[in-house]
Amino acid sequence: MKPRYARVIVDRAIHRELDYLIPENFADRLDIGWRVRVPFRDKAALATVVAILDESDASGIRPIEAIVGEGAALSPKLLELARWMSAYYCCSIETVMRSLLPQVIRRAEMSYKKQLFVRPAGALPHDAVEKLRNRAPRQAELLAAVSKLSGPVSATELLRQTSLDHQTLRGLEKRGFIEVREEAIERDPHADEQFIATTNLELNAEQNAALAAVEAAMQTAETARPILLHGVTGSGKTEIYLQAIRSALARSKTAIVLVPEISLTPQTVERFKSRFAEAQDMVAVLHSRLSEGERHDEWHKIQAGRARIVIGARSAIFAPLENLGLIVVDEEHETSYKQEEAPRYQARDVAVVRAKLETCVVLLGTATPSLESYFNATRGKYQLVSLTQRVDDNQMPLIRIVDLREEKRKAKSLTILGEKLHRAINARLEKREQTILFLNRRGFSTSLLCSACGEARECPNCSVALTFHRTAARLSCHLCGHTAAVPKKCPACGEDALIYSGFGTEKVEANVQQLFPKAVVRRMDADSMTRKDAFRETLRAFRAGKIDILVGTQMIAKGLHFPNVTLVGIINADLALHLPDFRAGERTFQLLTQVAGRAGRGETPGEVFVQTFTPFSPSIQFARHHDFAGYFEQELEFRERCDFPPFRHAVLITVRSAHEARAKFSAETLARRLKESLPDEFILSSPSPAPLEKLQGEFRFHILIRGEAILRLSRLLRGTFGKLPLPEDVLASVDVDPYQLL
Ligand code: ADP
Ligand code: ZN
């Protein structure tokens, strides 16, 4: 046989593909997408096969050492997707591969959990147990138990039930009465849950039209555009996803459902598992809280084709499903679809690209479309489908704006709950209805100031104030996790003049409990939810009506249904507005709309109080009137004026170093080089200190570039970086379509 070669991408970033000889013993098996172990420099390395070649002009070719795992870990389509990501997001293909394949699959060190199973060895003579009784009474007892079995049973279970030991089991095996075999078992994260099958609900007219649009797109997938499903909260979007997936299955296709990690609750998973309960394996779940073993098993369940629906967070967009018919991206506007480390991809956008490569339909659902997606819809790039009514015909909640400036004048100090919100809570307590209070900031006091010298306690590693946490009785940095003891006197001037200022959820909880001593108040944020089951338990208690007031961060803003919640208070709507970020207004609008959607999902209409110092800001006013279109118009105008997305793409370069001067120098050099190499169509901003000047001990400088042709810009950037070696202690990162401009 003629020798053949495999071109591979080695896991370690070397920015080159290498050729290896395929040994004869696996020449007929090895194919594109398989994982192999190859000799690399003087060590072995793991790699992915990206091409099979009949010849290679590389010199000193060495043979592949071994195959890792069985079958292709990546389909040719996923490889193509990886190449696109590498080119678009301006990062190495090896980095992309690390996101595409979970570590447990890449390393292939873990395999299925094995267990011993026992079964009868063929038909037993009817007197076998009797005959054995005298010679080996314990073996006889075990045999009697085995003979009653209808199928194989786990050895551990059998021995536990009969109180017999392993030696007896092996003795019986030796006599040839039973078979003991090691078999793989699956670690199913939902094995101990029962899913009661549900059937399709009867859709209302708007839902029917939406489903029809998705089905029509599936008929003509080659030419179909992505569908943007804009439906108010409670309009029954999930029901449409479920029925659209049913349609995809009926066409022998598979489906991926992306959900923001924070919304991937047991409740959500249950809705999907129950609708597709006909086969145990039908729905696989992928998210960051799985154990490595569970992830391994879920992934193989997908790869082997047993799971036909995958529901998961961001990286589930890379699920190795064949024959994709539908990709759903729920809450498409969610910023958590953006990965904040390399590869800095946006899963919603990757979903649109994957759908194109796989000729499948992509459905983006949300109550508050991102400006980018809505813009695409108004330009005809996406197809817009709207749901304007809540399924239960409930009214949209009434949103009232509370002017904190006025409240402050009245109370002469910073208030947490204004008078109006206070009264509204009282009324709810009397009626035994529930309240949610929302504040997007953890901790007790947001800073510790000295009233004598004005110094605030800052993080030594980051340029932010430390937050005081009362339960932990410590100061802590929310960016790097640094903690410090609370000083008695100001460490800067020595005066005994420290004052706490600003407040977070911990203080809201304490304050509310003090104002309403009889109410049951609970807090839900990253600090109070450290225990694994705390989240689930709190939600259950809240649903059961055992909590009157739930205080929390964005953890409680998303996708939860509580029919008895009739009041939502937004303690401070301005937090996001003051971030130095062109998306600040958009985020505020989305957040208000999402949080407001939590109110009044039952019989009683809901009421929302929005406390703010900027009552006339457009994002607050438009959210108040549930006017997405109006909001969109004015925000778009602002973006166009400033050359921001969706009119231009943005690329953010961050240059950082522990040495401030070196970071600055490198940023300036880089900016100069970019100025020389980038054509005029790209708008290059001069390097400037990042809004967050120091983070985790490093000084940071930003260069912002805006333009339309991202693939071209990425290529040019790669070229510039290639020719500009940065000093060893300076790092630069490129973020295409950035979300954080901090
Ligand atoms: P959304 O995802 O748009 O917020 P959901 O799909 O969660 O809305 O629907 C809200 C509630 O209405 C759910 O309890 C769902 O079961 C129910 N629902 C959805 N569609 C229908 C329908 N056609 N008939 C009756 N109930 C429905
Ligand atoms: Zn810090």
Q: For residue 471, give every residue at least 6 positions away whose Cβ sits within 8 Å of its Cβ, in sequence order, or none.
A: 506, 527
pTM reported for the whole predicted model: 0.86
pLDDT value for 111: 65
Report whether 254 contacts 279 (CB < 8 A). Answer: no
Q: Domain 205-392: what homologous superfamily? A: P-loop containing nucleotide triphosphate hydrolases (3.40.50.300)
CA pair distance 146, 176, nearest whole angstrom: 13
Q: Is 302 in contact with 226 (CB distance < 8 Å)?
A: no
Residue 716 has pLDDT above 80, yes or no: yes
Segments making up each domain of the chain, as ranges: 5-83+92-107, 113-185, 205-392, 398-443+504-638, 445-502, 649-736
Q: Please report which ligand is nearest the Cα atom of 202.
A: 1
Alpha helix locations (H) across 285-341?
A: 292-303
State the greatest distance between any 2 C-alpha atoms of the chain, in Å, as a whole number: 96
Atom number in ligand 1 closest to CA 387: 3
Give the end-to-end CA distance of the chain in Å, rounded to a whole number.
Answer: 59
Question: Which residues, at least 6 apart from 630, have a Cβ–Cβ distance to it below 8 Å?
Answer: 622
pLDDT digits (tens, 9 = 90+) for 666-698: 999 999 999 999 999 999 999 999 988 999 999
DSSP output for 337-402:
GB-SSSS--BHHHHHHHHHHHTT-EEEEEESS--HHHHHHHHTTSSEEEEE-S-TT-PPPPEEEEE
Q: Which atom of ligand 1 is nearest to the CA of 271?
A: 16
Q: Which residue's CA lies nearest to atom 23 of ligand 1?
A: 203
pLDDT per residue over 251-278, tens digit each? Answer: 999 999 999 988 887 888 999 999 998 8
Q: What is the pLDDT of residues 551-598, one digit of tens each?
A: 998 777 665 677 788 999 999 988 776 666 788 889 889 888 888 777
Of 530, 628, 542, give the one whose Cα is nearest residue 586: 628
- Yes or no: say if 629 and 679 are a contact pair by the CB < 8 Å rule: no
**Which run of H or E residues covers position 552?**
strand 549-552
The residues pairing with 568 across neighbouring beta strands, listed in sequence order, are 436, 608
Options 3.30.460.80, 3.30.9.10, 3.40.1440.60, 3.40.50.150; CATH of 5-83+92-107? 3.40.1440.60
Both structure tokens of 494: 């020595």
H-helix or E-strand containing 176? none
Best mutation site among 206, 246, 391 for ligand 1 pocket (most ligand atoms within 8 Å of CB)? 391
Measured in Å, residue 206 CA sits from the centre of ligand 1 at 12
Letter string b/e over residues 657-671, b meaning 16 or more CB atoms within 10 A of that residue's CB: beebebbbbbbeebb
The CB of 234 under 6 Å from ligand 1? The reply is yes
CATH number of 398-443+504-638: 3.40.50.300
pLDDT tens by residue, 83-107: 999 999 999 999 999 899 988 888 8
The answer to whether the CB of 207 is under 6 A from ligand 1 is yes
At 413, is the pLDDT very low, low, confident or very high (cuts 50, 70, 90)? low
Q: Is 231 in the pocket of ligand 1 (CB under 6 A)?
A: yes
| DSSP H/E element including 103 | helix 103-107
Domain 649-736 architecture:
2-Layer Sandwich (3.30)
186-216 pLDDT, tens digit each: 767 776 677 778 889 999 999 999 999 999 9
Estimate to the nearest angstrom the gap between the alpha carbon of 47 and the chain centroid: 27
Asked whether the beta carbons of 549 and 416 are under 8 A apart, the reply is no
Question: What residue has token string 């054509």?
Answer: 679
Q: Do domains 5-83+92-107 and 205-392 have the same CATH topology?
A: no
Ligand 1 contact via 574 beta carbon (within 6 Å): no
Alpha helices by DSSP H, listed for 551-583, are none
Cβ 228 vs Cβ 383: under 8 Å: yes
Determine the residue of 239, 329, 368 to mutate for testing ligand 1's pocket, defined as the one with the most ligand atoms within 8 A of the Cβ atom.
239
Identify the band that residue 602 occupies on the pLDDT scale cut at 50, 70 and 90: low
